[in-house]
Amino acid sequence: MLAIFRREFKSYLHSFIGPLFISAVVGLFALFFVLFNVMGLSNNINGALYNLGFWGLMFMVPVLCMRAFSEERRNKTDQLILTAPVSVGGIVFGKFLAIVAIFAIPTAVFAVMPLLLKVFGDVPLLWNYTSLLGFFLYGVMLIAVCIFISNLSDNPIICAVISIITILICNLSPNFYKSSQSEFVKNVFSSTIDISTRLSNMMTGTCDLTSVIYFVSVTALFLLLSVQLVQKRRYSVSKKNLSISAYSSVTVIVMIAVMIVANMAALQIPENIRQADVTSQNLYTLSKDSESVINGINDDITLYFFAKEEDSDSKTKDEMIEKLLKQYADESDHVTLKYIDPVINPQFAKKYTDDNLSYSSVIVVNETNGRSKVINYNDMIETQVDYTTYSQKVTGYDIEGEITYALQYVSLSEENLMKAYTLTGHNEQAIASKFSDVISKNNMSVTDLSLLSSEKVPDDCELLIINQPTVDLSEDEANKVIDYLNTGKNVLIVTYYQTQGELTNFQKVLDYYGVKLENGAIIEQDSERLIAGSEPYYFLPVLGSDDITSGISTEGYGSVFTPLCQGMTYEAVDSVTVTELLKTSDTAYVQYLDSADNKSDQGVWYVGLKAVKELDSGSSTAVIYTSGDMFTEGADQMVNGNNLRLFSNTLNNLVTFNTELVSIPVKAIETPLSITGKNAVAILLGLSFIVIAIFVSGLTVWILRRRK
């Protein structure tokens, strides 16, 4: 076998097909690497490997393998090997290992890439090399399949075409069999011809045992089938050969059956055994904090998952959410997972919410006390808009954070919840769902409050929220708010630049802290504070120094995004300390609404202030923002979540939350790399040099050998 290996390996390198294959594979990988990792700043080579495996190897491996047996059959040189004192298995495995060795050369080049990326940022090496392992096993499997097909004809071109068609059908098979209503049909096809899903499973951050078993078993099957074909040609037709042929047929049937049964059995292995989480942030594994929360639950809780249980189409059902839900249910006997098919039972969600729930949403219900928490699918998936393509990209998962919080929330009694009230009756705006979730996630219940029908702000109010009133308060309402503040309580105020008349009484509340509003919108003239292509009333304010603004990035489109801001100033008031949170440059001015020609002088205007008034007993804090649209999902996406961080920091500064609650942060899929333009050019030139060097050296050797 070793002699066959050396002969074949040298043959591939000397015939130019080997260097051509290596340079083509490295070149195509370099193209995907530049797109995904250099230009896309991704710290994971799985995208480049998957596209190379799915599309590149589909054509390259058949070309590499087409001459393995067919060309020798056409040239009759196979008789020399078949009559040599080498076993048939040695012949097949020798040729197979030679081609695998050629394929291993570009794979070794790819293995350097994660280490290269590590120079430019944090790189999940285990995830990268698990993806590389899946790519290599996938390629080895294709080699075995193509070697078998090269045994079927003495025409290499026909063998290559048949191989390409076979791989194409297998890669596209999930688009057809997953629409079947029969789970048996789905299991059979997924256990036999579905190769693209196996490759994908190894790229998503899990080391999937079923994929490894599949690649190895299919490789072994087609190598043994190749041995059987060569075995039948090695012996002349005789009575003995008839028995060999019968034996071969039985062996082939047994081998295929064993492969199918082995892969179907592998699918039945529990997920926690057959799939290992190789992500650095443990995307697929519950944290110790979540396990502690689950184990502390004594009530019976049901997790209602809005999806069809036997639905294997990942385009409709989020498999990551389902996987984590199963872990919650497996962790405790008090937690049960139930599937709700929204097609069959569309009214089920109406028991718990008036909102329309997306597919793969979750409702957590405490069956003991009746409390429930609705988690919409979009609340668990963090996305970012790519403004170059105007498409959304998933950047992180908050599945564990949302579900763990919901489990804690439904386990609490009403007495344990902190109370927040939002003022109503003055055309106030509702808080955007993404931001209201931050309030509820901090163990607060929010209730509407009308001071026209209430004698005062309730005593249990921990935080009063006044969000964008456009109609003035009555004098009595303003006095009730001030009375509330005099008790040492806090208020969050967000204003809007357009109002229906003067807000005289509302201004009295602001006078309590020495703050004054201008009836107009801020125009920022400093180009460095503007987002490219935007209007001057959409800008990035200067951040002040405070706990509220801590942790907010100032790189790139950093700061926070504040569209349509009302001008705000403050003056010194006894016992009031003001902290400047957000402000303009000194070239900004306010455009008053009563006249297009009426505007203020240039100077610094404030968009966010924190005012603390010292009282005889304690203190009262107000945080005031003058951009009504800054706490919306659109504004937040413009600065990669900085507005949401500001809002969360504000709440934590105004209210002392229950520290016993466990908070699970959003798990980012990847950390973007920091690759400068100069470094990107250097990487591109380096990869180009490698490809050209391999191609030219192979071509040179081939030409020199032909001249001999």
Mean pLDDT of 609-626: 95
Domain count, the chain: 3
Query: CA torsion sign, 350 to 352 to 353 to 357?
Result: negative
Domain boundary residue, one of 328, 358, 382? 382
Angle at which helices 88-110 and 209-234 cross, to 10°: 140
Mean pLDDT of 33-56: 93
In SS3 terms, 592-611 reads as ECCCCCCECCCECCEEEEEE
In a domain, 398, yes or no: no
In a domain, 399, yes or no: no
Place of tokens 């009555």: 474
Residue 355's CB is within 10 A of a number of other CB atoms, namely 12
Range of the domain at 370: 288-382
Please say whether the beta carbons of 471 and 427 come within 8 A.
yes
Q: Give the three-state DSSP class for 302.
A: strand
In a domain, 474, yes or no: yes
User: Would you state the pLDDT for residue 426?
Assistant: 95
User: Would you state the pLDDT for residue 237?
Assistant: 37
In a domain, 64, yes or no: yes
Query: Which residue type sits at 219?
Result: T
Q: Cβ contacts of residue 447 below 8 Å, gap of 6+? A: 419, 420, 421, 422
Query: Over 70: is that where the pLDDT of 596 sits?
Result: no
My answer on whether 552 and 475 are in the same domain is: yes
CATH code of the domain covering residue 573? 3.40.50.880
Q: Which is nearest to 403 in space by CA: 342, 482, 323?
A: 323
pLDDT in tens, 166-205: 999 999 988 887 777 777 777 777 778 889 989 999 999 9
Q: Which residues pair with 365 in a beta bridge?
A: 302, 372
Please say whether the beta carbons of 420 and 465 come within 8 A.
yes
Of the chain, the percentage scoring pLDDT greater than 90 comes to 54
Query: Over 50: is that where the pLDDT of 564 sits?
Result: yes
Query: Which residue type sits at 155?
Result: N
My answer on whether 314 and 265 are in the same domain is: no
Q: Which is nearest to 302 in space by CA: 406, 437, 415, 438?
A: 406
Q: Mean pLDDT: which of 79-88, 168-177, 505-514, 534-543 is highest?
A: 505-514
My answer on whether 16 and 164 are in the same domain is: yes
Q: Cβ contacts of residue 108 below 8 Å, gap of 6+? A: none
Q: Give the three-state DSSP class for 630.
A: coil
Lowest mean pLDDT of 287-296, 387-396, 452-461, name the range.
Answer: 387-396
User: Would you state the pLDDT for residue 238?
Assistant: 41
pLDDT in tens, 267-313: 778 877 888 999 988 899 999 999 999 998 999 999 999 998 876 55
Query: Which residue type sits at 184?
Result: F
Give the whole-angstrom CA distance, residue 457 versus residue 362.
Answer: 35
pLDDT in tens, 58-102: 999 999 999 888 877 777 766 666 666 778 888 899 999 999 999
Give the whole-angstrom CA distance, residue 457 versus residue 455.
Answer: 7
Give the whole-angstrom CA distance, residue 590 versus residue 293.
Answer: 51
Q: Mean pLDDT: which of 304-318, 413-427, 570-584 is highest?
A: 570-584
My answer on whether 508 and 604 are in the same domain is: yes
Residue 562's CB is within 10 A of a number of other CB atoms, namely 28
User: Would you state the pLDDT for residue 637?
Assistant: 81
Q: Which residues pair with 475 in a beta bridge?
A: none
Using DSSP bridges, classify how beta strands 566-570 and 606-614 pair: parallel, antiparallel or unpaired.
Answer: unpaired
Give the whole-angstrom CA distance, residue 172 versus residue 168.
Answer: 6
User: Would you state the pLDDT for residue 558?
Assistant: 59
Give the whole-angstrom CA distance, residue 185 versus residue 661.
Answer: 46
My answer on whether 450 and 593 are in the same domain is: yes
CATH code of the domain covering residue 303? 3.40.30.10
My answer on whether 624 and 493 are in the same domain is: yes
Lowest mean pLDDT of 257-261, 542-546, 684-688, name the range.
Answer: 257-261
My answer on whether 594 and 501 are in the same domain is: yes
DSSP secondary structure letter of residue 350: G
In a domain, 126, yes or no: yes
Tokens of 396: 């992180």
Q: Which is nearest to 607 in space by CA: 519, 682, 543?
A: 543
Distances (CA, A) of 160 to 102, 635, 641: 18, 53, 50
Distances (CA, A) of 699 to 9, 231, 682: 16, 36, 26
Query: Over 50: is that where the pLDDT of 659 sits?
Result: no
Lowest mean pLDDT of 101-110, 221-230, 625-634, 664-673, name the range.
Answer: 664-673
Q: Give the three-state DSSP class for 253.
A: helix
My answer on whether 656 and 633 are in the same domain is: yes
Q: CA end-to-end span of the chain, whole Å?
A: 29
Q: Which is nearest to 170 in space by CA: 199, 147, 206?
A: 199
Lowest mean pLDDT of 126-130, 171-175, 435-439, name the range.
Answer: 435-439
Of the chain, the percentage scoring pLDDT greater than 70 comes to 91
Mean pLDDT of 370-393: 76
- Please indicate, yes or no, whether the overall pTM of this predicted structure exceeds 0.75: no
My answer on whether 360 and 426 are in the same domain is: no
- CA atoms in the 13 A half-sphere facing the CB of 589: 11
Lowest mean pLDDT of 57-66, 319-328, 640-649, name the range.
Answer: 640-649
Query: Over 70: is that where the pLDDT of 146 sits?
Result: yes
pLDDT band at 317 (very low <50, low <70, confident <90, very high): confident
In 259-371, the DSSP E strands lie at 275-277, 301-305, 335-339, 362-366
Residue 541's CB is within 10 A of a number of other CB atoms, namely 26
Give the whole-angstrom CA distance, residue 249 versus residue 228.
Answer: 9
In a domain, 388, yes or no: no
Domain boundary residue, one of 335, 355, 382? 382
Q: Cβ contacts of residue 702 below 8 Å, gap of 6+? A: 14, 15, 16, 19
DSSP secondary structure letter of residue 513: T
Q: Is the model more confident about 306 or about 531?
A: 306
In 74-224, the DSSP E strands lie at 206-208
Burial 218-231 (b: 16+ CB within 10 A, else e): bbebbbbbbbbbbb
Q: Cβ contacts of residue 333 below 8 Å, gap of 6+? A: none
My answer on whether 260 and 349 are in the same domain is: no
Q: Give the three-state DSSP class for 444.
A: strand
pLDDT band at 386 (very low <50, low <70, confident <90, very high): low
Q: What is the mean pLDDT of the chain?
A: 87
Angle at which helices 2-14 and 17-33 cross, to 10°: 70
In a domain, 165, yes or no: yes
Mean pLDDT of 412-418: 73
My answer on whether 159 and 267 are in the same domain is: yes
In a domain, 575, yes or no: yes
Q: Is the model more confident about 333 or about 532?
A: 333
Domain boundary residue, one of 322, 357, 382? 382
My answer on whether 661 and 680 are in the same domain is: no
Using DSSP bridges, classify how beta strands 418-423 and 461-467 pair: parallel, antiparallel or unpaired.
Answer: parallel
Query: Over 60: is that where the pLDDT of 563 sits?
Result: yes
